[in-house]
């Protein structure tokens, strides 16, 4: 059963309640390896479902455009203070609706349309909003992209520097969505300083690792830090922008009134709760556990002949190039889903295939670590992935069904917040 119970919803709208219950069960029975997902705590779920959703609060604490902010102001202030304390930043804005609007607000704060942004190419592991051509950020701004080296699968900082010197971007993004290796914030900061650019560290994927001390922090290197709150940070769907005091006004003005209207107060409260959780020592253990699990899984997959981009991982994320397994990412991901192992197909650097039918798989260990799985389970997970990929190649649905049953059996021993 969903936790907290959704009895009122079940009475009022059994159709939606039934689908929500089924989704909770699905999440309980699957090994969830989507690198950008997690399981939030029941406390975060409760905060998300409160009466705060009823309230409009355009503006910032003490300077709102609506009355009745007696309780919303302290909630937002708590979220800000907790963000400042967890990440050690001078300024935090907790209002962006999600990662893409947060990043767009950064453009609004620092760039005029047509000016130059530099970010990691999407197929190399960057994010759409770092200037990729199909995104508004690639259409409205002049965008130049760096990638990774073909031989190492890693960012070539000499190439980044050369490109920056030639193109003179005003904004440089580091970070992305499919980067299995540590991001060298000091090196990016040096390049940004050399060309007079503002460095933005998009830590959406690794925010929980940074908060828990399992990845170096961009603080002191990047003038602006952008993050979602729902990936390794394990909060609700939302985002934050953090910065030095110097850029505080520009960031706040860009979020509101520049880009957004009223903040989602129920989300703000849930972000505050998640940041409270992230400030506890147990969160540090969790963050290190995520990395240990990813590295154990990467080692077990390598032993089974999987080709990992960059040869392994330093964080929560593994990128597999399936070319040597004779199957593309999409059919493999679909077979794995049938086997109870949920992940996403993904491009790999220099992928000869199309983004909607690419060569790779992307995996992350944030959710399974929340669930309580440890390094001792990773060889079994790798075995199931291997067997499923082989079964998909041989049209062997019986093996896939057998694995789905074994996955359910294993997970029955690991509680899930949100399910009882
Ligand atoms: N969609 C997110 C991810 O899966 O990485 C990034 O926006």
The string of pLDDT tens digits covering residues 328-379 is 999 999 999 999 999 999 999 999 999 999 999 999 999 999 999 999 999 9
CATH number attached to the domain at 47-278:
3.40.640.10
Q: What is the pLDDT of residues 72-111, one digit of tens each?
A: 999 999 999 999 999 999 999 999 999 999 999 999 999 9
Mutate which of 104, 122, 204, 366 for ligand 1 pocket (most atoms within 8 A of beta carbon): 204
Beta bridge partners of 171: 117, 198
The one catalytic residue in 154, 231, 330, 371 is: 231
Taking CA atoms only, the protein residue closest to ligand 1 atom 2 is 36
pLDDT digits (tens, 9 = 90+) for 256-299: 999 999 999 999 999 999 999 999 999 999 999 999 999 999 99
What per-residue confidence (pLDDT) applies to 290? Answer: 99
- Is 107 noted as a catalytic residue in this protein? no
Q: How confident is the model at residue 209 (pLDDT cuts 50, 70, 90)?
A: very high
Q: Is 228 a catalytic residue?
A: yes
pLDDT the model gives residue 105: 98
Q: Give residue 362's pLDDT.
A: 98
Query: 75 with 268: CB under 8 angstroms?
Result: yes
Is position 58 annotated as part of the catalytic site? yes
Q: Domain segments of the chain: what residues?
A: 47-278, 289-411
Which backbone phi and psi does 396 adopt, to 5 degrees?
Answer: -105, 80
Q: How far apart are CA 346 and CA 360, in angstroms?
A: 5
**Long-range contacts of 342-348, Cβ-Cβ distance < 8 Å, separation of 24 or more:** 342/30, 342/31, 342/32, 342/33, 342/34, 343/33, 343/34, 343/35, 344/34, 344/35, 346/178, 346/319, 347/122, 347/123, 347/178, 348/309, 348/319, 348/320, 348/321
Over the stretch 148-207, which tens digit does the pLDDT of each residue have? 999 999 999 999 999 999 999 999 999 999 999 999 999 999 999 999 999 999 999 999
Residue 107 tokens read as: 């453009």
- How far apart, in whole angstroms, are the C-alpha atoms of residue 142 and residue 169? 9
User: Does the annotation mark 194 as catalytic?
Assistant: no
What is the mean pLDDT of the segment spanning 111-136?
Answer: 97
Between CA 235 and CA 111 the distance in angstroms is 30
Pocket test for ligand 1, best of 34, 35, 101, 127 (most atoms within 8 A of CB): 127
The CATH number of domain 289-411 is 3.40.50.150: no
Show binding-site residues for (6S)-5,6,7,8-tetrahydrofolate: 122, 126-128, 245
Confidence of residue 67 (pLDDT cuts 50, 70, 90): very high
Average pLDDT, the chain: 98
- Tokens 């001390």 label which residue? 213
**Active site annotation includes 325:** no
Atom of ligand 1 nearest to the CA of 37: 4
pTM of the shown model: 0.98
Given the DSSP bridges, would you call strands 198-202 and 142-146 parallel, antiparallel or unpaired? unpaired
The half-sphere exposure of 257 on its side-chain side, counting CA atoms within 13 A, is 5
Residue to probe by mutation, ligand 1, list 99, 177, 178, most atoms within 8 Å of CB: 177
Going from the Cα of 74 to the center of ligand 1, the distance in angstroms, rounded, reads 31
**Beta-sheet strands, E only, within 262-406:** 307-308, 317-321, 341-342, 344-346, 360-364
Q: How far apart are CA 349 and CA 145, in angstroms?
A: 13
pLDDT of residue 289: 98
pLDDT at 352: 97
CA 353/CA 348 separation, integer angstroms? 9
For the chain, percent of residues with pLDDT exceeding 70: 100
CA of 178 to the centre of ligand 1 (A): 9
Kindly list the protein residues whose Cβ atom lies closer than 6 A to any atom of ligand 1.
Answer: 36, 99, 127, 177
pLDDT for residue 277: 98
CA of 240 to the centre of ligand 1 (A): 15
Cα of 38 vs centre of ligand 1, distance in Å, is 12
Share of the chain above pLDDT 90, in %: 100
The H-assigned helical ranges of 305-377 are 329-338, 366-371
Exposure class string for 289-299: b at 16+ Cβ within 10 A, else e: bbbbbbbbbbb
């Amino acid at each position: 059963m969903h936790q907290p119970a959704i009895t009122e919803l079940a009475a009022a709208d059994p159709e939606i309640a039934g689908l929500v219950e089924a989704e909770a069960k699905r999440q309980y029975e699957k090994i969830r390896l989507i690198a950008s997902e997690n399981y939030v705590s029941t406390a975060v779920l409760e905060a998300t479902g409160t009466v705060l959703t009823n309230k409009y609060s355009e503006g910032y604490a003490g300077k709102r455009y609506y009355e009745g902010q007696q309780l919303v102001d302290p909630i937002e202030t708590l979220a800000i203070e907790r963000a400042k304390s967890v990440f050690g930043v001078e300024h935090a804005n907790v209002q962006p609706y999600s990662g893409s609007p947060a990043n767009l607000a950064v453009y609004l704060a620092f760039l005029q349309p047509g000016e130059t942004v530099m970010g990691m190419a999407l197929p190399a592991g960057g994010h759409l909003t770092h200037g990729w051509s199909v995104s508004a950020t690639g259409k409205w701004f002049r965008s130049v992209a760096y990638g990774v080296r073909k031989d190492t699968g890693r960012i070539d900082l000499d190439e980044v520097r050369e490109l920056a010197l030639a193109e003179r971007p005003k904004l440089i993004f580091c970070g992305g969505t499919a980067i299995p290796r540590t991001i060298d914030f000091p090196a990016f900061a040096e390049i940004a300083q050399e060309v007079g650019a503002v460095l933005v560290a998009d830590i959406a994927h690794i925010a929980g690792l940074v908060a828990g001390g399992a990845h170096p922090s961009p603080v002191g290197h990047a003038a602006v830090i952008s993050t979602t709150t729902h990936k390794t940070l394990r909060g609700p769907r939302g985002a934050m922008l953090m910065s030095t005091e110097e850029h505080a006004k520009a960031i706040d003005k860009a979020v509101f009134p520049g880009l957004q209207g009223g903040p989602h107060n129920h989300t703000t409260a849930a972000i505050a709760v998640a940041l409270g959780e992230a400030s506890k020592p147990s969160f540090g253990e969790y963050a290190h556990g995520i990395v240990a699990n990813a590295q154990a899984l990467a080692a077990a997959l390598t032993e089974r002949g999987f080709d990992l981009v960059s040869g392994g991982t330093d964080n929560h994320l593994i990128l597999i190039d399936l070319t040597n397994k004779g199957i593309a990412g999409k059919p493999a991901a679909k077979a794995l889903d049938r086997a109870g192992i949920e992940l996403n197909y993904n491009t790999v650097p220099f992928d000869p295939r199309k983004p909607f039918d690419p060569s790779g798989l992307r995996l992350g260990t944030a959710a399974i670590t929340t669930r309580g799985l440890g390094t001792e389970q990773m060889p079994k997970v790798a075995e199931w992935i291997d067997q499923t990929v082989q079964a998909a190649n041989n049209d062997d649905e019986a093996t896939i069904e057998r694995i789905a049953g074994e996955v359910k059996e294993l997970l029955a021993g690991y509680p899930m917040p949100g399910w009882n």
